[in-house]
Copies of this chain bind each other. A is one copy, B any other.
Amino acid sequence: MSTVNESFPVKSTRRCEMIEITSQIADIVSRSGIGNGTCTVYCGHTTAAVTVNENADPSVTHDILITLGELIPKNHRSYQHAEGNSDAHVKSSLVGCSEHVLVKNGNLLLGTWQGIYFCEFDGPRNRNVSVQIRS
């Protein structure tokens, strides 16, 4: 049994943005030397999230961000939080701050079209992603 912890920075450049982080995580899996186990990707921010979705056609992430933005508007008469980013907190809890991908034969067991994304909902900011691989 073995556990490897690493983290890496992510820099967002827009308010809302899905940034693919699959290759950074695949590198950590590879360096870990772990063949079979679980990979947990954790985001320690309350206005961001982590998700898995299609990485073949960039219009998919465009449509996800557009839809979330229409469902959860930036400004709303009922918001009490004074920082103007209540929408980002809601999106964070709906998408979730962690993802888990299985590791098999030293590789992330992602589906054919799946990539791992850091979701920025209140950027641009300097963010950090934690990764734990466990055999």
Binding site for B on A (CB under 8 A): 1, 3, 5, 36-38, 40, 42-46, 51-54, 57, 59-60, 62-64, 66-68, 70-72, 76, 78-83, 86-87, 89-90, 92-102, 104, 109-114, 130, 132, 134-135
Residues of B within 8 A of A96 (CB): 51, 96, 99
26 inter-chain pairs at a CB distance below 8 angstroms, sorted by A residue, are A5-B36, A37-B134, A38-B132, A42-B100, A42-B101, A46-B54, A46-B111, A52-B97, A53-B89, A53-B92, A53-B93, A59-B81, A60-B89, A62-B80, A63-B78, A63-B80, A63-B81, A63-B86, A63-B89, A64-B93, A67-B78, A94-B94, A96-B96, A98-B99, A98-B100, A100-B100
Given A54-B89, A63-B86, A71-B72, CB of A42 within 8 Å of CB of B109? yes
Min CB–CB distance A9 → chain B (angstroms): 14
Interface of A is mostly: mixed
Q: How far is the CA of A83 from the CA of B63 in the complex (A)?
A: 12
